[in-house]
Amino acid sequence: MFDNWEELENSLKECKRCKLCTNRTNIVFGTGNKQASIMFIGEGPGADEDLQGEPFVGKAGKLMNMAFDALAINRKEVYIANIVKCRPPGNRNPEQDEATACLDYLRNQVILVKPKIIVLLGSVALKNILGQEYGITASRGKWIEKRGIWYMPTWHPAALLRDETKKIDFIKDLKLVIEKYKQILNN
Ligand code: URA
Ligand code: SF4
């Protein structure tokens, strides 16, 4: 574990801990406010993210931005990262060995950001952060508190592209996040 961002970011350069290193263009480390109260965790980079080196800049990211706009969340105020930092080929889900190899980096990011709230975007984020026993359909929209952090599992933004009703859920879940954030600020 590193106690500063520079050392952590340096430790990732040239990372070959898992086989996803072979096809990547860029490592997608994470972006946003390094002292954010709210952190968003996705799955892994897609094609656009791989090319630009930033999370959620493609189609799924655009949807997320629309939700942020609707709820007056400033994207720059939150911190956004993924379970794996290199693009899985063909946008498949990260395999367990890849997620396990990469998770130390994300844990270190969480330790440095110290968020009060973590939004888990989809099943891969949920299972790797809270445990394989969790399912996204049953868990979404419900708070889970662990070691002083409030977790809100919700749909992955890419799922919203396929199913309109999930957009409504997504906005609802993010509303809960804002409410909780305001509560925390007032305490
Ligand atoms: N999907 C993700 O899970 N993360 C990204 O950064 C982009 C798309
Ligand atoms: Fe390293 Fe993570 Fe990329 Fe695998 S996905 S090579 S562990 S940075």
Map the chain to HEC letters. CCCCHHHHHHHHCCCCCCHHHHCCCCCCCCEECCCCCEEEEECCCCHHHHHHCCCCCCHHHHHHHHHHHHCCCCHHHCEEEECCCCCCHHHCCCCHHHHHHHHHHHHHHHHHHCCCEEEEECHHHHHHHHCCCCCHHHHCCCCEEECCEEEEEECCHHHHHHCHHHHHHHHHHHHHHHHHHHHHHHC
pLDDT digits (tens, 9 = 90+) for 89-111: 999 999 999 999 999 999 999 99
pLDDT tens track for 153-164: 999 999 998 899
Cα 48 to ligand 1 centre (Å):
9
Q: Note the pLDDT of residue 187.
A: 85
- Which residues, judged by CB distance below 6 Å to any ligand atom, belong to the binding site of ligand 1? 42-46, 49, 55-56, 58, 60-61, 82, 158
pLDDT score of 168: 95
- Distance (angstroms) between ligand 1 centre and the Cα of 82 equals 7
Residue 161: per-residue pLDDT = 87
- Quote the pLDDT of residue 162: 87
The answer, as to whether pTM is greater than 0.85, is yes
Q: Is the CB of 20 under 6 A from ligand 2?
A: yes
Residues of the chain with pLDDT under 70: none
For residue 16, give the ligand 2 atom closest to its CA: 6
The pLDDT, as a whole number, for residue 11 is: 96
Locate the ligand 2 atom nearest the alpha carbon of residue 98 and give its number: 4
Q: Which of 12, 15, 107 to mutate to test the pocket of ligand 2 (most atoms within 8 A of CB)?
A: 15
